[in-house]
Amino acid sequence: MAQHIVVIGGVALGPKAACRFKRLKPGSTVTMIDQSGLISYGGCGIPYFVSGDVSEARELSTTSFHMVRDVTFFKDVKGVDVLTLTRATRIDRERKQVHVENVTTGETTVLDYDKLVIATGATPRRLGLPGEDLAGVSYVCNPDDATRIRDGIAKGEVGSAVVIGAGFIGLEMAEAFADMWGIETSVVEITDQLMPRLVSPTLAAMAQRHMEEKGVGFYFGESVRALEGENGRVKRVVTDKRTLDADAVIIAAGVVPVSELARDAGLAVHDRGGVMVDEYMRTSDPDIYSGGDCAVVKHLITGQPAFLPLGSMANRQGRVIGTNLAGGEARFPGVVGSFVVKLFETSLAGTGLSLEAALAAGYDAVSVLQVQLDRAHFYPTKELMTLEMVVDKKTRRVLGVQGFGSSGDAMVGRINAIAAILPRNPKVEDISNLEMAYAPPFASAMDVLNSLANVADNVLDGINRGVGPDGFATLWNSNGEGTCHFIDCREEADADGYVQRNPGRWHNIPQGELRQRINEVPRDRTVVLVCNTGARSYEAQIILDEQGFDDVINVQGGMAAIKKYGIEL
Amino acid sequence: MAQHIVVIGGVALGPKAACRFKRLKPGSTVTMIDQSGLISYGGCGIPYFVSGDVSEARELSTTSFHMVRDVTFFKDVKGVDVLTLTRATRIDRERKQVHVENVTTGETTVLDYDKLVIATGATPRRLGLPGEDLAGVSYVCNPDDATRIRDGIAKGEVGSAVVIGAGFIGLEMAEAFADMWGIETSVVEITDQLMPRLVSPTLAAMAQRHMEEKGVGFYFGESVRALEGENGRVKRVVTDKRTLDADAVIIAAGVVPVSELARDAGLAVHDRGGVMVDEYMRTSDPDIYSGGDCAVVKHLITGQPAFLPLGSMANRQGRVIGTNLAGGEARFPGVVGSFVVKLFETSLAGTGLSLEAALAAGYDAVSVLQVQLDRAHFYPTKELMTLEMVVDKKTRRVLGVQGFGSSGDAMVGRINAIAAILPRNPKVEDISNLEMAYAPPFASAMDVLNSLANVADNVLDGINRGVGPDGFATLWNSNGEGTCHFIDCREEADADGYVQRNPGRWHNIPQGELRQRINEVPRDRTVVLVCNTGARSYEAQIILDEQGFDDVINVQGGMAAIKKYGIEL
Q: What is the DSSP letter of A508?
A: E
Provide the residue range defining the domain that includes B358: 339-460
For residue B161, give how far its alpha carbon lies from the nearest alpha carbon of chain A (Å).
Answer: 23
Q: Which of A325, A354, A383 is the last residue of a domain?
A: A325
Q: Which residues of A touch B79 (CB under 8 A)?
A: 515
Q: Which of B171, B531, B374 lies closest to A77 in space, CA to CA? A: B531
Q: CB–CB of B67 and A491 under 8 A?
A: yes
Q: How confident is the model at residue A387 (pLDDT cuts 50, 70, 90)?
A: very high
Domain count along chain B: 4
Q: What number of other Cβ atoms are within 10 A of residue A307's Cβ?
A: 21
Q: What number of other Cβ atoms are within 10 A of residue B94's Cβ?
A: 6
**Residue A495: inside a domain:** yes
Query: B275-276 and B295-298: which strand pairing?
Result: parallel
Q: Who's near A53: CB < 8 A, 6+ residues apart?
A: A180, B379, B380
Residues A167 and A235 in one domain: yes
Q: Which of B233, B253, B273 is the last residue of a domain?
A: B253
Cα torsion through A211, A215, A216, A221, rounded to 10 = 90
Which residues of B are designated catalytic?
44
Q: CB–CB of A44 and B378 under 8 A?
A: no
Residues B295 and B210 in one domain: no
Residues facing residue A8 across a β-bridge:
A33, A118
* pLDDT attached to residue A144: 84
pLDDT tens readout for residues B81-114: 999 999 999 999 999 999 999 999 999 999 999 9
- Closest to A438 (Cβ–Cβ): which among B63, B311, B463? B311
- Closest to B433 (Cβ–Cβ): which among A314, A333, A445? A333
- Alpha-carbon distance of B504 to A513, in angstroms, equals 81
For residue A227, give how far its alpha carbon lies from the nearest alpha carbon of chain B (Å).
Answer: 30
Give the DSSP per-residue string, B225-268.
EEEEEETTEEEEEEESS-EEE-SEEEE-S-EEE--HHHHHTT--
pLDDT tens readout for residues B448-477: 999 999 999 999 999 999 999 999 999 999
Q: CB–CB of A48 and B440 under 8 A?
A: yes
pLDDT tens readout for residues A294-343: 999 999 999 999 999 999 999 999 999 999 999 999 999 999 999 999 99
Q: CB–CB of B546 and A490 under 8 A?
A: no
Q: Which of B76, B78, B79, B85 lies closest to B39 in space, CA to CA? A: B85
Instruction: Annotate B317-337 with three-state secondary structure.
Output: HHHHHHHHHCCCCCCCCCECC
CATH code of the domain containing A555: 3.40.250.10
- Alpha-carbon distance of A543 to A510, in angstroms, equals 12
Residues A87 and A112 in one domain: yes
- Alpha-carbon distance of B429 to B414, in angstroms, equals 16
Q: CB–CB of B446 and A23 under 8 A?
A: no
Give the nearest chain A residue to B422 (CA atoms): A421
Residues A401 and A545 in one domain: no
Query: A526-530 and A552-555: which strand pairing?
Result: parallel
Q: What number of other Cβ atoms are within 10 A of residue A506's Cβ?
A: 19
Q: How confident is the model at residue A5 (pLDDT cuts 50, 70, 90)?
A: very high
**Residue B226: inside a domain:** yes
Q: Which residues of B touch A17 (CB under 8 A)?
A: none
Alpha helices in A113-271 (DSSP H): 143-154, 168-181, 201-213, 260-264
Residues A260 and A112 in one domain: yes
Alpha helices in A249-368 (DSSP H): 260-264, 311-325, 355-360
Quote the ipTM score. Answer: 0.96
Q: Who's near B60: CB < 8 A, 6+ residues apart?
A: A378, B41, B42, B43, B45, B46, B49, B54, B143
- Alpha-carbon distance of A152 to A147, in angstroms, equals 8
Q: What is the DSSP letter of A335?
A: B
* pLDDT attached to residue B413: 97
- The region of weakest confidence among A392-406, B45-59, B549-563 is B45-59
**Residue B371: inside a domain:** yes
Q: Which of B398, B408, B9, B390 lies closest to B207 in space, CA to CA? A: B408
* pLDDT attached to residue B144: 84
For residue B180, give how far its alpha carbon lies from the nearest alpha carbon of chain A (Å).
Answer: 14
For residue B465, give how far its alpha carbon lies from the nearest alpha carbon of chain A (Å).
Answer: 13
For residue A463, give how far its alpha carbon lies from the nearest alpha carbon of chain B (Å).
Answer: 8
Q: Which of A39, A25, A201, A46 lies closest to A566 in space, CA to CA? A: A201
Bigger pLDDT: B57 or A563?
Answer: A563
Q: Which residues of B touch A319 (CB under 8 A)?
A: 432, 446, 454
Q: CB–CB of A433 and B316 under 8 A?
A: yes
Q: Which residues of A touch B494 (CB under 8 A)?
A: 65
Residues B181 and B285 in one domain: no
Q: Which of A207, A228, A253 is the last residue of a domain?
A: A253
- One-letter amino acid at A212 equals E
**Residue A83: inside a domain:** yes
Q: Which of B178, B176, B173, B145 lies closest to B159 in space, CA to CA? A: B178
Q: Which residues of B touch A78 (CB under 8 A)?
A: 539
Q: What number of other Cβ atoms are within 10 A of residue B548's Cβ?
A: 8
Q: CB–CB of B442 and A494 under 8 A?
A: no
pLDDT tens readout for residues B343-380: 999 999 999 999 999 999 999 999 999 999 999 999 99
Alpha helices in B404-547 (DSSP H): 408-421, 428-432, 448-460, 469-477, 492-501, 535-546
Backbone φ, ψ for residue B198 (5° rounding): -90, -35
- Alpha-carbon distance of A47 to B202, in angstroms, equals 38
Could you tell me if residue A266 is left (phi over 0), alpha (psi between -120 and 50 degrees) or otherwise beta?
left
Q: Which of B281, B299, B297, B298 lies closest to B289 in space, CA to CA? A: B281
Whether A182 shows a pLDDT value over 80: the answer reads no
Which residues of A are designated catalytic?
44
Residues A455 and A495 in one domain: no
* pLDDT attached to residue B63: 80
Q: Which residues of B touch A321 (CB under 8 A)?
A: none
What does the mean pLDDT of chain A come to? 94
- Alpha-carbon distance of B287 to B321, in angstroms, equals 11
Cα torsion through B14, B20, B26, B30, rounded to 10 = -10
Residues B306 and B360 in one domain: no
CB pairs under 8 A between A and B: 300
For residue B125, give how far its alpha carbon lies from the nearest alpha carbon of chain A (Å).
Answer: 21
Residues A76 and A82 sit within 8 Å (Cβ to Cβ): no
- Alpha-carbon distance of A422 to B218, in angstroms, equals 43
Q: CB–CB of A446 and B407 under 8 A?
A: no
Residues B267 and B177 in one domain: no
* pLDDT attached to residue A38: 85
- Alpha-carbon distance of B61 to A359, in angstroms, equals 43
Cα three-residue angle A457-A431-B436, rounded to 5 degrees: 140
pLDDT tens readout for residues A166-181: 999 999 999 999 987 6
- Closest to B445 (Cβ–Cβ): which among A12, A59, A350? A12
> Would you call B422 helix, strand, or coil by DSSP?
helix
Render the burial of B383-419: b for 16+ CB within 10 Å, e for the rest: ebbbbbbbbbeeebbbbbbbbbbbbbbbbbbbbbbbb
Q: Who's near B200: CB < 8 A, 6+ residues apart?
A: B354, B355, B356, B367, B388, B402, B468
Displacement of CA A528 from its chain's centroid (Å): 33
**Residue A559: inside a domain:** yes
* pLDDT attached to residue B310: 94
Q: Which of A431, A480, A476 lies closest to A457 in space, CA to CA? A: A431
Q: Which residues of B touch A445 (CB under 8 A)?
A: 12, 42, 44, 311-312, 314-315
Q: Who's near B205: CB < 8 A, 6+ residues apart?
A: B193, B469, B470, B565, B566
pLDDT tens readout for residues A457-494: 999 999 999 999 999 999 999 876 678 999 999 998 88
How big is chain A by its Cα radius of gyration, in Å?
27
CATH code of the domain containing A16: 3.50.50.60
**Residue A48: inside a domain:** no
Displacement of CA B351 from its chain's centroid (Å): 9
Q: Which residues of B touch A530 (CB under 8 A)?
A: none
**Residue A518: inside a domain:** yes
Could you tell me if residue A191 is left (phi over 0), alpha (psi between -120 and 50 degrees) or otherwise beta?
beta
Residues B64 and B150 sit within 8 Å (Cβ to Cβ): no
Residues A344 and A456 in one domain: yes
Q: CB–CB of A491 and B418 under 8 A?
A: no
Residues A455 and A370 sit within 8 Å (Cβ to Cβ): yes
Q: How confident is the model at residue A145 (pLDDT cuts 50, 70, 90)?
A: confident
Q: CB–CB of B312 and A63 under 8 A?
A: no
For residue A339, give how far its alpha carbon lies from the nearest alpha carbon of chain B (Å).
Answer: 5
Q: CB–CB of B437 and A445 under 8 A?
A: no
How big is chain B by its Cα radius of gyration, in Å?
27
- Closest to B419 (Cβ–Cβ): which among A77, A336, A435? A435
Whether A218 shows a pLDDT value over 70: the answer reads yes
Render the burial of B19-53: b for 16+ CB within 10 Å, e for the rest: bbbbbbbbebbbbbbbbbebbbbbbbbbbbbbbeb
Give the nearest chain A residue to B339 (CA atoms): A437
Residues A506 and A438 in one domain: no
What does the mean pLDDT of chain B come to? 94
Q: Which of A225, A191, A20, A222 lies closest to B451 in space, CA to CA? A: A20
Burial of residue B286 (CB within 10 Å: 0-12, 13-18, 19+) is exposed
- Alpha-carbon distance of A347 to A407, in angstroms, equals 7
Question: For B529-544, what is the mean pLDDT?
Answer: 95
- Closest to A439 (Cβ–Cβ): which among B340, B379, B439? B340
Q: CB–CB of A413 and B408 under 8 A?
A: no
- Alpha-carbon distance of B350 to A545, in angstroms, equals 43
Residues B314 and B405 in one domain: no
**Residue B497: inside a domain:** yes
Whether B181 shows a pLDDT value over 70: the answer reads no
